[in-house]
Amino acid sequence: MEIVIPYQPRDLQLSYHQDRKRWSLLVCHRRFGKTVCAINELIKSALTCPLERPRFAYVAPFHKQAKQIAWDYAKHYSRPIPGIKINEAELRIDYPNEARLQLFGADNPDSLRGLYHDGIVLDEYGDMSPRLFSEVIRPALSDRKGWALFIGSSKGGTIFHELYEQVKNNEDWYVRFQKAFPAADLWTAACALAGPDTRAAA
């Protein structure tokens, strides 16, 4: 049976899906499609993971934020898959191959303890404590060599910038930086190209 997920990846989204590594980091401008891309990678991985009871997680800085920014996407893109079970209270989707995708908030690290992950997304990573990854998430990825994706915008938090600087030339990482010109910069650039306005002086 053919299942069609209503998602047509944009160029950079496609590049991530095709070329990602165990460790990935995406710095992209606002509304680029980072969260949609991340959710779709989680769903694809959940459906194709060959291990028993695959476990995937999406983490936003706050639980409420995870629900606001990613829960609708998770349900929307999972809906065409027959036999899924959606648990609204736990922000959890169970797939027919016993895979599970659950949304969490970094404001409640205890909710992530004691789990294993085959893949995890840390959205708006710049707004999280660095200890969350090192103390809670990294150990949970070791059991089954799970992957992690860190995402944020170019304005996103110090720890996100520090991580980017640390890993941008590391071959073990898939790293992409896509920065849009803010409107004000475009205006300045356009003025510089046009040169001084001589008409006013005539």
Ligand X SMILES: Nc1ncnc2c1ncn2[C@@H]1O[C@H](COP(=O)(O)OP(=O)(O)OP(=O)(O)O)[C@@H](O)[C@H]1O
Where on the phi/psi map is residue 98: left (φ > 0), alpha (ψ -120 to 50), or beta?
left
Query: Which of 33, 115, 138, 176 contacts ligand X by CB under 6 A?
Result: 33
Least distance CB 62 / ligand X (angstroms): 13
Question: Interaction with Mg ion in 22-51: which residues (CB under 5 A)?
Answer: 34-35
Query: Do 126 and 152 meet the contact criterion of CB atoms below 8 Å apart?
Result: yes
- Residue 52: phi and psi, rounded to 5, are -75, 145
**Is residue 20 near ligand X by the rule CB under 6 A?**
no
Q: Which of 3, 8, 193, 201 binds ligand X (CB under 6 A)?
A: 8
Determine which residue in the list 20, 34, 100, 117 makes contact with ligand X, applying CB under 6 A: 34
Q: Is 32 in the site for ligand X (CB under 6 A)?
A: yes
DSSP line for 37-71: HHHHHHHHHHHH--SSS-EEEEEESSHHHHIIIII
Angle of the 34-48 helix axis to the 11-19 helix axis, nearest 10: 30
Mask of contacts with ligand X, 153-182, x by CB under 6 A? x-----------------------------
Is 78 one of the binding residues for ligand X (CB under 6 A)?
A: no
Give the Cα separation of 161 and 139 in Å (integer): 23
Contact range with ligand X by CB under 6 A, out of 24-32, 50-58, 103-111, 137-145: 24-32
Q: Is 35 or 78 the residue whose CB approaches Mg ion more closely?
A: 35
Contact 74, 103 (CB under 8 A): yes
Q: Calculate Rg over the CA atoms of the chain.
A: 20
For Mg ion, the binding residues (CB under 5 A) are 34-35
For ligand X, the binding residues (CB under 6 A) are 7-10, 13, 28, 30-36, 153
